Structure 1
Amino acid sequence: MMEPWLILTGLVAGLVYGFAGFGAALVFMPVALLVVDPVVAVAGFALAGLGAIATVVPQAWPQADKRAALTMLAAAVLLEPIGVWVLRTTDPMALRWAVSAVVLGTLVALLSGWRYRQSPGLPAWLGVGAGVGFLGGSVGMNGPVLVLFQLGGPDAAARTRANAIVVLSFSTLALLPIMALQGAVTRETILLGLVLLPVYALGAYFGRRLFNPARAGLYRGTAYVLIGGAGIMGLPIWG
């Protein structure tokens, strides 16, 4: 029987994703790894992520920078098979440490207010996309590199959120067949994903309804708190 608080975490992850455009996996993965195998957690959450395709992508697509988003997405899909191989062949305890390190490291970078001044182009988009794909496949968190890149640039909150939603949602969708080809999609992962899918979609829907560009700072602050709490909870020191 699935832990009720794991389902609640899926709901919160969807809510964060809906209003902030990032943070779903940063919230979900550290907590999920307390009770399920990393491969199961990544594949199951990828399946649950299909809920975002219907609930938040249609609203985000018109606001996104299509050229940048699609370039990053293509690079992400190319690197995902390597990430999945790392996921399948690495010790689960090492992956738990890696997940918490990525989560807390991302949070520190976000809170530091890091910014870049150069106008990004093809090399930057390809590099960010590669990071999205590798981290998405290896630890189930495709957002950190993209989030730092988007929030560090000059784009307005609405476009930043839209770009992140398009790249993260579709790279998560592409992850499913890649994991299936490597034998990482099992009955357990499908069950987890199907239970989480409506919960995650519901959270994303309400998060999208809550989003208001004028209050982007409040939403980001809330996401930071939730991400930090999940990262600390997921540390392997808790057993």
Structure 2
Amino acid sequence: MILPVLDQNLALLLAAVAVAGVARGLSGFGTGMIVTPIAAALYDPITAVVLIVIIDSLPMLPVTIPVLKIARWREVLPILAGLGVFVPVGIYILKHGDPALLRWFICLTILVCVLALWRGWRYRGPRSLPISFSVGGLAGVLSGIASLPGPPVIVYWLATALPAAIVRANLLALFFLSEFLSIGNLWAAGLFEMPRLMLGLTATPFYLTGLLLGWGLYGRSSEQVYRRFTFALVVAAALIAMPTSEYVVRAAISALAA
């Protein structure tokens, strides 16, 4: 097992991972939406998904285990079932899709999700088992393609009458269990190649450091400030990682050189 060489790409990735950890510690979300587009741009979309699965699993254990006993499993399990069925669909698209098109899809999907969360959009329709399963299915496809299962579920659950603490517990329980589903499917698809695994292990301490820093900063300002900070980071990451940004950077460099 050989650790990745510290080059410009790795340095940028580790910085993004640390910033995502701070955002997650402050606001409770943002890891995938910040790291995935940056990692996909610096390496490739498959590496980005594998990286997220690694860094966002073990470090979340201390936060997740205590809330498992208060999660409403009748709410969690139908969505988890849909997610489990459709994660392989997303991974198939990830494995066989065109990397450039996947980068566009990831960036644009993140921007749409941020807009939905920023505007406070909520699902107001029926909440039957088929609907919950369908929401889980959409989350599963997004999880397989870009490690982004959160936005559909957040939009669906935040409009319920459940207490905020229960919604948080449900989300943590769902994402914790979905990590195992993602790990199993990525492994079965042969995407856990050693360089990607070592990259994830290298990035984990940086993510954990940022996570602890974010937890330490939590409570020093309003939740609205944290959310705005995280949304700004997510939007910046998605815009920077868009394929067109490379042409803009190259054009700027050429202009400066001239």
Instruction: Check whether TM > 0.5.
Output: yes
Distance 2:13 2:119 in 1: 30
Write out aligned runs for 1:186-197 (5 A): 186-197=193-204
1:175 partner letter: S
Match of 1:17 in 2: 24
1:219 and 2:219 are equivalent in the alignment: no
Equivalent residue, structure 1, for 2:144: 137
Q: Retained in 1: the 8 A contact 2:40–2:46?
A: no
Q: Distance in 1 between matches of 2:22 and 2:244?
A: 28
**Count of equivalent residues:** 238
Q: Name 1:94's counterpart in structure 2.
A: 101
Q: Which residue of 2 aligns with 1:181?
A: 188
Higher RCO (C-alpha 8 Å, min separation 6): 1
The aligned counterpart of 2:65 is 58
Partner of 2:41: 34
Gaps of 5+ in 1: none
**Deviation of 1:28 (Å):** 0.6
Cα gap change, 1:207 to 1:121, in 2 (>3 Å) = farther
CA distance in 1, matches of 2:169, 2:27: 10
Question: What do the CA deviations read for 1:136-189 (whole angstroms, capped 9, x no partner)?
Answer: 111222222122223344444333333222222321232112111111110111
Residue 122 of structure 2 aligns to a residue in which SS? Answer: coil
Aligned to 1:107: 114
Q: Using a 3 Å threshold, how does the CA distance of structure 1 residues 39 and 205 change in structure 2: closer, same or farther?
A: same
TM-score by length of 1: 0.88
Structure 1 contact 45–196 (Cα < 8 Å) conserved: no
Matched residues in 2 for 1:206 and 1:173: separation?
A: 26
Distance 2:70 2:134 in 1: 22
Name the TM-score, length of structure 2 as normaliser. 0.82
Identity of aligned residues (%): 28
* Distance of 2:77 and 2:22 partners within structure 1: 25
Looking at structure 1, the residues matched to 140 and 122 of structure 2 have their Cα atoms a distance apart, in angstroms, of 23
Residues 21, 71 of structure 1: alpha-carbon distance in 2 compared, 3 angstrom cutoff: farther
Q: 1:160 matched to which residue of 2?
A: 167
Are positions 1:69 and 2:82 aligned together? no
**Of the two, which has the highest radius of gyration?**
2
Residues 145 and 112 of structure 1: CA distance in aligned 2, closer, same or farther (over 3 Å): same
Give 3-state SS (helix, strand or coil) of 2:42's partner: coil
